[in-house]
Amino acid sequence: MTDIKNSTPNEVAGKVALVTGAASGIGKAIALLLHTRGAKVIAEDINPEVEALARPGLVPLVADITQDGAAERAVALAVEQFGRLDILVNNAGIIINKLVIDMTREDWERIQAVNATAAFLHSREAVKAMMLNKSGSIVNIASYASYFAFPTIAAYTASKGALAQLTRTLALEVIGHGIRVNAVGVGDVVTNILNNVVDDGPAFLAQHGEAAPIGRAAQPEEIAEVVAFIASDRASFMVGAVVMADGGMTVTAG
């Protein structure tokens, strides 16, 4: 167990991490923070802009995480480049703004594929690699939408609820192998996830976040700080937790 009294900001030094949805927003902030704190990182995203993150010890991977074999290739790349895999952050997520009555099956399945199924597939492959070292940490990016109902984003809320339950169940299955699985339930974060829903997603989220008890939305770097801690050995007693980093939204009445 880590000597917490002697812990340093380089909490993930020497670790190897895989971060999905790393081209922008929360994923980009996580990939950069883990790298800054000493981890080697595979930054995976369907958006070629992820290639701009390339630097020694940080390898971009352009890939569609929903495709067969994507998870296997990402984990294999981590092992090939850096010899092992210690941390997986399932961050990638998308949203569609439609009433259930207007939603197509394709809409529903696309949301589940990115937000939940890809996390399952990457977790499954990551666990296989982590078992070889009898240690590892998986952090899923869930949402306060896992608990609240929001009209017009049923597919998104369902996918994040599934991710929270995947976190809890997988945690019980793999803790005996020294692998911890936890999640961060985020509130409104100033990112571009809503750009396909509104003209200016970051501005909308910044304004919407003012309803939180803290009075504002989060910046991606604030979520990255929580993820870095949970991913590290400093969080060695956390198993199956969904830690809310939502500015207090889930402790309000609605």
φ, ψ of residue 9 in degrees (nearest 5): -60, -20
Considering the domain boundaries, does residue 242 fall inside one? yes
Q: What is the mean pLDDT of residues 190-212?
A: 64
Q: What is the mean pLDDT of residues 19-27?
A: 96
Q: What is the mean pLDDT of residues 159-182?
A: 98
Considering the domain boundaries, does residue 254 fall inside one? no
Total domains, the chain: 1
Residue 206, pLDDT score: 65
* CATH of residue 142: 3.40.50.720
Residue 195, pLDDT score: 59
Q: How confident is the model at residue 191 (pLDDT cuts 50, 70, 90)?
A: confident
Q: What is the mean pLDDT of residues 51-63?
A: 98
Residue 7, pLDDT score: 46
Question: What is the per-residue burial (b if ≥16 Cβ within 10 Å, else e) of 201-216?
Answer: bbebbbeebeebeeee
Residue 181, pLDDT score: 98
- Total-model pTM: 0.93
Q: How confident is the model at residue 108 (pLDDT cuts 50, 70, 90)?
A: very high
Active site residue 147: no
Share of the chain above pLDDT 90, in %: 74
Share of the chain above pLDDT 70, in %: 88
pLDDT at 76 over 60: yes
| Contact criterion met (CB below 8 Å) for 195 and 23 | no
- Written as six digits, the tokens of 168 are 């809890």
Q: Kind of pairing, strands 58-62 and 40-45? A: parallel
Considering the domain boundaries, does residue 251 fall inside one? no
Residue 131, pLDDT score: 98
Helix (H, G, I), strand (E, B) or coil at 67: coil
| Range picked from 77-81, 205-209, 246-250 for highest mean pLDDT | 77-81
Q: What is the mean pLDDT of residues 180-188?
A: 94
Structural domain containing residue 58? 4-246
Question: Among 42, 60, 156, 184, which one carries the catalytic annotation?
Answer: 156
pLDDT at 22 over 50: yes
- Written as six digits, the tokens of 76 are 């294999």
Considering the domain boundaries, does residue 253 fall inside one? no
Considering the domain boundaries, does residue 252 fall inside one? no
Q: What is the mean pLDDT of residues 67-76?
A: 98
| Contact criterion met (CB below 8 Å) for 35 and 41 | yes
Residue 189, pLDDT score: 85
Considering the domain boundaries, does residue 152 fall inside one? yes
Residue 146, pLDDT score: 83
Average per-residue pLDDT in the chain?
91
pLDDT at 87 over 90: yes
Residue 202, pLDDT score: 66
Q: How does pLDDT run across 116-154, given as a tens digit for each residue? A: 999 999 999 999 999 999 999 999 999 998 888 888 899
Measured between alpha carbons, how far is 181 from 160 in angstroms, rounded to an integer?
15
pLDDT at 92 over 50: yes
Q: What is the mean pLDDT of residues 224-228?
A: 97
